[in-house]
Structure 1
């Protein structure tokens, strides 16, 4: 699907949009519900990733194809390793077979898991023969994807002796680790996170519990970007959100004050209001704890004629695409003065934006959605726009609520 996107003609935007549940929270909750009876989940994400996660958890044998869903690949690797008698082959899209899994597989093997590679060493597809895992101590490099760490932590309470997980070095993506532990807290599963050591106690069963999934803050980022590029006085209300969020991307509320956007919290909503034009020429953010919003912030700063220096982006190289190189390529099309390293991105302030540029999305939902707000400044094309279904299937329809013109070509 190829779209032509034009921003709203109204100067001041007004809308109330309900966003689907967090993909990250949903996938954690789904796995815990598979481990324990009596768990009910509300506001589950309607994303492709959550759907393949739910389908994968039901498989008892054969091939489990998770397509582009990196979270499902990591979480199901841990889950099936401890499922005695369930033998599966985990695979996915071509890009998924290029995304490393070795660090997680090595850790699970250290715990006693039976995992082998079907093709290239260190990459999916992998064959897992589920068995009872007896060992209860393992270590991981602290700067790896938090999904590896969360995979082990979600498996931990079902292990006979629980798990002690040591993280070696400087820890990144701490909020995602805390999200996982927060869900264990909700189920009454004892755990601790002190220094670089995480401990999770074993738990045979949990009391009947309803886990309510908060809406996705990563998805909210695109509306922050739209409001930042809109006229002063514009306001968008989003639901359903909470102030004490488990999601690391909730740092958006703080970061977007640099772009003149103020966030106010209602009972289950957030309201984003443009209160002033940005006062800074260039912003510097360390996004090690929230790398998924890097694309949105890069596009926002360029759209506002500002510069940025974003660091802590080392995990973006192994996402749905190499997001740093993809940002370099696509922003350059618009005339951005941009440079990237393997863990940072820099944009020099500039005023001109080229019109009618076609954005390539690289099988990456966030490339499509992060660039969409730029239509506030110039009409543009989005190639393979259907890729948004990975995390936010309703995105293009919701943009129409803001009077964006979304035309399928």
Structure 2
């Protein structure tokens, strides 16, 4: 389904939006709940990815298809590796079969896991025979996707001897690693992260039965989803305000760096009673540069914000974007240039030149990538445009288009 976004404006200068739970937190906690069923979850993400994760963890089939859900592919590879006696083939979409899994598979094999490739070496689908893992020492390159690292950490407490994980080189996506360790701590699993070494102690009891640990965990709302509202406010007039819930000032999510980043674009953020209030306070049109190694998922949002404001930007630390739902660097360059922009990319950076022209009614290809659809949507505040395959947003934010309409965006199908 394609939709047309007519040139729009915010209907109410003090709008409110409720955003579902973080996909990143939800998928980690769903796996932990499968390992430790004594605690319950509230505000779980209603995204496709989290629904697929939930279904996969409950499935009794020997073939589990996670479609486009990359996080689920990584986490479930680790999870099924320790389900003793169970044999599962883990597969996904055509694009998922092009996304590498070898780094994680080799690490799990180092711990004693039984995993083999069904089609192409290094890529899904994979056949996993669950077994008891007794080895506990493993090494990974530190600049790989944090999801590989988190996958190992999430199952670590169920290994007979826990895990001693050594990260080699400069670590990227540290906030996501710390998120995983913080969630382990919340359910009573002990861990340490010192230098390049992460240790998780074994815990074959049920941590949540400890009276000092919570039996209900509430998932914070998704900061990646909030990014599109930061972009919207940045493109609005001074005085525009949008309130989002439910958010914590001391968030575990790496994308909460949006608070600092969007100050550059004149967006002031304040926290009130588990809500975050975004207000456009100044108009700043200076060039922007930032290393997004710890929050690569917001690169598309920021690039489009800068393009819409007509300012140049240099974004670095983006090496993981090439193995997402699509090659996001190539996709950004292609779509921004269709709109009249000028973009240069390397394998880990994006460089946008200043432009005062935005072409009208350009069809934005989304490449089966939810973030492409949502990142470009705020441009409707500047020019009418078309979003192709708009339903792709259901991967992380199913009510996105309805929420945009509620604040004044004009959408026709």
Task: Return the offset for 1:9.
Answer: 3.7
Once structures 1 and 2 are overlaid, which stretch shifts more, 3-12 or 167-176? 3-12
**Deviation by residue 1:350-387 (Cα, 9 ceiling, x = unmatched):** 11111111100000000000000011100000000000
Unmatched 5+ stretches in structure 1: none
1:47 matched to which residue of 2?
47
Partner-residue secondary structure (3-state), 1:207: helix
Partner-residue secondary structure (3-state), 1:258: coil
Among 398, 404, 409, the residue aligned to 1:404: 409
Q: Distance in 1 between matches of 2:109 and 2:174?
A: 24
Once structures 1 and 2 are overlaid, which stretch shifts more, 299-308 or 55-64? 55-64
1:108 matched to which residue of 2?
108
Q: Distance in 1 between matches of 2:355 and 2:12?
A: 24
1:236 aligns with 2:246: no
Unmatched 5+ stretches in structure 2: 210-214
1:87 aligns with 2:92: no
Partner-residue secondary structure (3-state), 2:207: coil
1:304 matched to which residue of 2?
309
**Deviation by residue 1:263-316 (Cα, 9 ceiling, x = unmatched):** 000121000000000152x11100000000000000000000111000000000
Task: Return the offset for 1:10.
Answer: 4.9
Among 359, 364, 367, the residue aligned to 2:364: 359
The answer (yes or no) to whether the contact 2:11–2:408 under 8 Å persists in 1 is: no
State the TM-score, normalized to the length of structure 1.
0.98
1:28 aligns with 2:28: yes
Q: Distance in 1 between matches of 2:76 and 2:29?
A: 13
Q: Distance in 2 between matches of 1:299 and 1:37?
A: 42
1:6 matched to which residue of 2?
6
1:131 aligns with 2:131: yes
Partner-residue secondary structure (3-state), 2:217: strand
The answer (yes or no) to whether the contact 1:11–1:231 under 8 Å persists in 2 is: no
Partner-residue secondary structure (3-state), 2:179: helix
Once structures 1 and 2 are overlaid, which stretch shifts more, 52-61 or 190-199? 52-61
2:355 matched to which residue of 1?
350
1:252 aligns with 2:253: no
**Deviation by residue 1:121-147 (Cα, 9 ceiling, x = unmatched):** 000000000000010000000000000
Q: Distance in 1 between matches of 2:24 and 2:9?
A: 35
1:207 aligns with 2:212: no
Q: CA RMSD in A?
A: 0.9
Task: Return the offset for 1:61.
Answer: 4.1
The answer (yes or no) to whether the contact 1:4–1:379 under 8 Å persists in 2 is: yes
2:162 matched to which residue of 1?
162
1:386 matched to which residue of 2?
391
Query: CA distance change for structure 1 residues 283 and 12 in 2, over 3 Å: closer, same or farther?
Result: farther
2:228 matched to which residue of 1?
222
Once structures 1 and 2 are overlaid, which stretch shifts more, 53-62 or 395-404? 53-62
The answer (yes or no) to whether the contact 1:37–1:206 under 8 Å persists in 2 is: no
Alignment of 1:272-351 (within 5 A): 272-280=278-286, 282-351=287-356
State the TM-score, normalized to the length of structure 2.
0.97
The answer (yes or no) to whether the contact 2:174–2:294 under 8 Å persists in 1 is: yes
Q: Distance in 2 between matches of 1:342 and 1:288?
A: 13
Query: CA distance change for structure 1 residues 211 and 11 in 2, over 3 Å: closer, same or farther?
Result: closer
1:119 matched to which residue of 2?
119
Once structures 1 and 2 are overlaid, which stretch shifts more, 10-19 or 230-239? 10-19
Task: Return the offset for 1:6.
Answer: 2.0
